[in-house]
Structure 1
Amino acid sequence: MKKTLLLLLLVAAPALAGEGKWTPQQVLELDPSWLKAQGLEVPPQRLWDPKRGTGLLAGAVNVGGCSGAFISSTGLIITNHHCVFSIVQEHSTPQRDLITQGYLATSREAELPGKGARVQVPRSFTDVTKEVLAAVPAGADDLTRYKAIERKQKELVAACEKRPATRCQVSTFDGGLQYVLVDAVELMDVRLVYAPPRAVGEYGGEEDNWMWPRHTGDFSIIRAYTAPDGSAAPYSDKNEAYKAEFFFPLATQGVKPGDFAMVLGYPGTTYRALLADEMAQRQSRVYPRIIDVYGESIRILEEVGEKDPAGKIAVASTLKSLHNRYKNSGGQLAGLKRGRIIEKQREAEETVARWVEKNGKFPEAQRARTELLSSLKDTDKTFEREFLLSNLRAGARGVSMAVTLSRLSRERAKPDLEREPEFMEREQPRLKDQLEREQKNLFLPAELRLFQAFVKRALALGPEERIAAVDKHFGAKATEKQVAAKVATMYAGTKVLTLADRLAMFGETEAQLTARKDPLLAFGLELAKEVTELDELRDRREGAALRLRPEWRKAVLAQAGKPVAPDANSTLRVTFAKVQGYSPRDGVIYTPQTTLTGMVAKHTGAEPFNVPAKVLAAVEAKKLGPWVDPALKDVPVDFLADADTTGGNSGSPTVNGKGELVGVNFDRVWENVANDFGYNPDVARNVNVDVRYVLWMLDQVEDADALLRELGVRKGPATVKEAR
């Protein structure tokens, strides 16, 4: 069955162009003549060698939830500005505001380490479907099924990670049809080399976010380090630059309309395999609630941040994340409606159902679909409560940390393989780094307001959705004044916000945390019980989905008779594309490139369209260097392609047919946000920083001569200091 399904995924590849997030293994199954006709100039085997478990695709790396790419053999990685924003924030103060000013390291010693920053370099992918499914006992109920699969995944990961500096995961494809063990080298010493000024990296701000035309320089450069013997190691001044076997040279000639491109990276999550009613729930409940809750948090953070320069820096990273999710949700709603995606999915489901009934080859498919739809109704009953408990990080950081510390203390009492995955020993360093890193995000006025907002929402829940911890600590009928007073008392008496105390709590048992009689911890301990209970409920639901969805997906794939790309799941993927514009609506055509001239035309001197003085001076002096596009007669800033991307592709390298970097992916257009639910070739466009804008910034604005030499763009050796 598995071979048949794979063939169905691949036989009609030439018809699809940009659609499809292909795994490294699947690329080798695609028709080489089709790939060559598209514009691929290197043999597919150069992209991935299954015998070695590596290839050019290994030059695309995972950068903590974003993607990135090696661009030199000396460990230089290019990614998005917003993907390394936390490192910039970490080293910023009101007196040394690197967020606003940007940063260029003038030597290796001046590169700034990122607390908790990690880079994962892919090493191999192994199908472990048989092992995982064999771990499920005969007659298992749904919770037992889920726990058995989860435990087997943990065991496979533990065996994989016996190798030093290794990070593994077992990824699920098509709802449980296939399980793949992903093996990667994890580099733990990551340092900031260059970040442009915020007014470049975020030019246009939220007004331009998800929009076109775009003139944003959303790129930064970091460097990965290892111990002198080449092994991965934590930060040390004795470490040396990582020696990258595979990297993408910079294509100084850039791209033009019609050119072939590939986007490589780690797309997070898409929802194309959901049933229509499951999509409809996201449309009617999930996205509206995100807009509501996240919107309130954004308003609070912006209001309190404007009153204090240090507070503005503290809330900057949180605001950036909230804004992106908030606007994305609006785009999802607009796109679902515009593209009639749910209606089309329902029509497609009915086609599959009729096909199943006619051919009789997949007798379990229709029953599986019916049961999935039935279980969906149960989640509606407690949706609001579950949403609040699942989105604590959109609120007060102190509350979120108190819950994390509480859950950690309970989970640590269990054998490692019985813990929730995020609290296993392998996650301890990350958790500790996160709790330490949060200190830069804390701002007391914001904490108080966000906690009050959470409690107010919890108190408004119906009788079947009560949050017991809130009712116990605040009273089910507390007034706003009483809530504000109680929150103030909790924060006045807590040590959770003090770094040294919080790190001490990290290693304590539940009894020790309770003995502290810390009011915020006491609330966190109560709330953590409810979060844990919710996790178990969701585990049971997921166990049912792992039993049912594969049965439906088998029928869907068989009926399609053409490539059906697996949903994104944060594993390495490749999408093939062409550089091209699009028409967003009747009578409007967008060209695929923007320029410095267009950027300056937007300049108002005020955020979000405030071109930094040194950038403006270079443009006005016509310091364009060799980076002018002959057809545009200007330096290109951003370009569009029809790649199949989603969240997690931020920072993905966009490369040409020779494997040279032509750009850095950072966004999608507004009309394409709902691409997560279905690919529409008319509007499926991703937004990329043109490599020539990157080079223009380094060359004509920053005069980063040494960095340009290291990148092989400028002739001459690097200095001894740089080459050590």
Structure 2
Amino acid sequence: MKKIILSLITGIMLLPMSMKADEGMWFLMFLERLNHRDMQKMGLQLTAQEIYSINNHSLKDAIVQFNGGCTAELISKDGLVLTNHHCGYDAVAELSTADKNYLKDGYWAENRKAEKKPSSLYVRFFVRMDDVSKRILSKLNDKMTELEREKAVNQEIALIEKENNEGGKYTVSVRSFFQGNEYYYFVYQDYKDVRLVGVPPESLGKFGGDTDNWEWPRHTADFSMFRIYADKDGNPAEYSENNVPLIPKHYLPVNLGGVKEGDFAMILGYPGRTNRWMPAGGIEQNVKFSYPAWVEGAKTGMDNMKKYMDQSDALRLVYASKYASVANYWKNRQGMIDALTKFGTSKSKAAQEAKFNKWANKPENKAKYGNVINNINTFYSITNEKARHDNYLQQLFRTTAFGTIGRTIGKQLDTYAKADNAKRKDMAPDILAGAEEIFKELYIPAEKDLLAAQLKLYTTKATGYALAPMVDKLAKENNNDFTKYASAAIDMSILTSIDKIKAFLDYPMQSVLDNDPIYTLSNDMITHINSKSDAIAKAQNDYGAGFRLLVEGLRESKIGTIKYPDANSTLRLTYGKVRALPADKRNDAKINNYTTMDGMVKKYKKGDEEFDMPIRVIEMNKNRDYGRFADKDGSMHVNFLTDNDITGGNSGSPVLNGKGELIGLAFDGNIEAMAGDVIFDDKLQRTINVDIRYVLWVIENFSGAKHIVDEMTLVK
């Protein structure tokens, strides 16, 4: 992890003691009661109802979850959607070929007909939410095991979802909060006809690559653009040439005024997962067992993918999306290890738990809370080695194509072999379609190396816990060298090519599948990772109850100070300010809360995979050819910092000023505060954003796609 050079004097000037980041990822339905007054003091000019309303159009109607893992926002009356480059990466990679490489060269549709439809892409609008805690908790009692509790909860959830989906019009999701102490349901509407409008070349959209990922200063055009289509009445519809651009209930105006230190900034989005309530034992397990295995397994996969990606543009496209995803979390998890260790997070959590344990064992609390800490710590102590083991195996699953194929195509073929002819006729097209999707993203020689390398890593490093039986046997027979086995198994397997799968569909023989080396290997590993001893099962049951009671007790005793639930991919709002980090000699900006194109050009390395850039950018910067998007200081601002509380899933979230106008696009956090998913650091926590003016400059000035900017409502 790189260290930022601190300037004590400048740091004091820029970070007065009175300024601190505003912690929290807040529900929109509680803003008026919990947050609105504080937000107004900081610069918000909207009412709570203008942000979230069920009966009237509001800000929340312009925010969508993008393809299940990111956030995006509507920025025109014709359904134009803005999100991150890395969020649209899969779709752009799918649409690219070696001859028409949109990832590498960028793409801008000259008209609506030129907008391109990926095979699978959707956006999800948030309609409303409500509290169903009393209803669900009334079905539970303290005598239930965790499995019995889960069954009762799921039965009630099914009823709530059916009651609110209006015959399938909406998607309804009931989610647990505060570790099962509260429940809320969320109503969504999905649109599946989403088309690519434009994306900058990768040299801009991913400038800095893995080296700059999670780092500041940044100089990245991390954005891409899509459009939502609907039927003529504005309803969701499958792709059709007759569909029309969606007319949204609300879209965001774009502010060209720029930002300055202390400006109010709020972000709406779908943060994926935080663990702010995680016990000390869980943090220790992650830092010492889970994350090191994750990092090593991810790096092994990346190294073997990269070896083939460097051979040709065609192979690079095959693995580009998977590599980018693995690399992102590889650096994230290493940053988590470093940050959690540096700040002694587990020690501070342990101190809180000791205080809680003292309160829990008072006579009036002992019956309910007395065993909580002991049960939690027992669980972690007996699962540490399994956690290490599982993370090595999970990285094998994430980086190889055939690790989990036993539960996908393999399971389908097993069902197919046992079905009658009529059922087989119905199943065959779906099996082939699924296989074709898988084989788009693999190259057999690379898969042989990936599988061999990951099996060797697993069998040599996950030794503190029993290995998968078949893998263990193979390891002993081959002295942990899986090179020959992986090659032979993939060559022999019926699951490793379309032609072989077609042949099986023509002549399905159960014995062929049952003896297939990849099918049996995959099932061996999947069965093993999902298995647990009776001791672990009991400890897990006690832990589930203990963690829920810990959170309940921390809230009841006021020992816990967190007022908001952990993130879980539901819509949240976070608010804060534009806020600099201490001075950094790597940044040429006058204040270390933004970066400039001058700084970007200084990073330029001709031919470098991460720091190359179009010569046209260098020339335009030299001529100060920034058009109407230059800052008042005459430079082109590229990225800027705020102190909002975000996490993964917020990628693509809009950064808004006090009037609800778009000023930027969130895309990253700083590695110094990487512990933020577990504990919020009000001094170091930062969100890294693309300045919306740089986004528009790339579209209009650099790419010549002014017709797209003309769709937007620009505010000066």
TM-score for both structures, normalised by structure 2: 0.87
Match of 1:455 in 2: 455
Match of 1:553 in 2: 551
How far apart are 1:504 and its partner, in Å?
10
Q: In the superposition, relative to structure 1, how do residues 638 and 15 fare at CA in structure 2: closer, same or farther (>3 Å)?
A: closer
Match of 2:651 in 1: 650
Match of 2:677 in 1: 676
Per-residue CA deviation, residues 414-450 of structure 1 (Å, 9 max, x unaligned), is xxxxxxxxxxxxxxx9999876543332122221111
Residue of structure 1 aligned with 2:59, choices 53, 56, 61: 56
Match of 1:571 in 2: 570
Distance 1:581 1:16 in 2: 11
Alignment of 1:385-404 (within 5 A): 385-404=389-408
Per-residue CA deviation, residues 311-356 of structure 1 (Å, 9 max, x unaligned), is 1221111111111111111111121122222222222222333344
Matched position secondary structure for 1:347? helix
Does residue 1:374 correspond to 2:378, yes or no? yes
CA contact (8 A) 1:40 1:260 kept: yes
CA contact (8 A) 2:294 2:392 kept: no
Distance 2:501 2:158 in 1: 28
Match of 1:582 in 2: 581
Q: In the superposition, relative to structure 1, how do residues 136 and 354 fare at CA in structure 2: closer, same or farther (>3 Å)?
A: closer
Matched position secondary structure for 1:710? coil
Residue of structure 2 aligned with 1:298, choices 302, 315, 319: 302
**Bigger mean CA deviation after superposition, 160-169 or 264-273:** 160-169
Residue of structure 2 aligned with 1:628, choices 620, 627, 630: 630
Q: In the superposition, relative to structure 1, how do residues 667 and 431 fare at CA in structure 2: closer, same or farther (>3 Å)?
A: farther
* Aligned residue type for 2:615: A
CA contact (8 A) 2:132 2:183 kept: yes
Distance 2:264 2:458 in 1: 51
Does residue 1:219 correspond to 2:217, yes or no? no
How far apart are 1:410 and its partner, in Å?
8.1
Distance 2:390 2:601 in 1: 46
Alignment of 1:457-496 (within 5 A): 457-460=457-460, 461-462=462-463, 465-471=466-472, 474=474, 476-479=476-479, 483-496=482-495
Matched position secondary structure for 1:680? coil
Distance 2:362 2:143 in 1: 30
How far apart are 1:20 and its partner, in Å?
0.5
How far apart are 1:491 and its partner, in Å?
1.7
Per-residue CA deviation, residues 208-263 of structure 1 (Å, 9 max, x unaligned), is 11111110110111111122232212222221112211221111213222110101
Per-residue CA deviation, residues 364-395 of structure 1 (Å, 9 max, x unaligned), is 23422221111122212433432244334333
Per-residue CA deviation, residues 37-58 of structure 1 (Å, 9 max, x unaligned), is 1111010111112x43973123
Residue of structure 2 aligned with 1:308, choices 306, 312, 318: 312
How far apart are 1:699 and its partner, in Å?
1.5
Matched position secondary structure for 2:147? helix
Distance 2:209 2:98 in 1: 21
Matched position secondary structure for 1:81? coil
Q: In the superposition, relative to structure 1, how do residues 503 and 693 fare at CA in structure 2: closer, same or farther (>3 Å)?
A: farther
How far apart are 1:672 and its partner, in Å?
1.3
Does residue 1:271 correspond to 2:272, yes or no? no
Task: Give structure 1 stretches of 5+ with no counterpart.
Answer: 1-13, 414-428, 716-724
* Aligned residue type for 2:611: F
Match of 2:205 in 1: 201
* Aligned residue type for 1:214: R
How far apart are 1:572 and its partner, in Å?
0.6
Does residue 1:36 correspond to 2:40, yes or no? yes
Does residue 1:65 correspond to 2:63, yes or no? no
Per-residue CA deviation, residues 665-692 of structure 1 (Å, 9 max, x unaligned), is 0000111111111111110111000000
Matched position secondary structure for 1:225? strand
Alignment of 1:151-190 (within 5 A): 151-161=155-165, 163-190=167-194
CA contact (8 A) 1:409 1:508 kept: no
TM-score for both structures, normalised by structure 1: 0.86
For these two proteins, the number of residue pairs brought into alignment is 684
* Aligned residue type for 1:642: D
* Aligned residue type for 1:52: N
CA contact (8 A) 1:146 1:539 kept: no
Per-residue CA deviation, residues 625-644 of structure 1 (Å, 9 max, x unaligned), is 111111x3211100000000
Match of 2:699 in 1: 698
Match of 1:242 in 2: 246
Distance 1:364 1:600 in 2: 62
* Aligned residue type for 2:101: D
Distance 1:335 1:323 in 2: 18
**Bigger mean CA deviation after superposition, 508-517 or 194-203:** 508-517
Distance 2:216 2:165 in 1: 43
* Aligned residue type for 2:487: A
Matched position secondary structure for 2:272? coil
Q: In the superposition, relative to structure 1, how do residues 467 and 243 fare at CA in structure 2: closer, same or farther (>3 Å)?
A: same
CA contact (8 A) 2:402 2:522 kept: no
* Aligned residue type for 2:578: V
Q: In the superposition, relative to structure 1, how do residues 31 and 230 fare at CA in structure 2: closer, same or farther (>3 Å)?
A: closer
Match of 1:443 in 2: 443
Per-residue CA deviation, residues 619-665 of structure 1 (Å, 9 max, x unaligned), is 233221111111x3211100000000111111111111111111000
Distance 2:650 2:430 in 1: 22
Per-residue CA deviation, residues 25-46 of structure 1 (Å, 9 max, x unaligned), is 2212125332211111010111
Distance 1:452 1:403 in 2: 20
Matched position secondary structure for 1:465? coil
Distance 1:54 1:378 in 2: 52
* Aligned residue type for 1:57: K
**Bigger mean CA deviation after superposition, 174-183 or 227-236:** 227-236
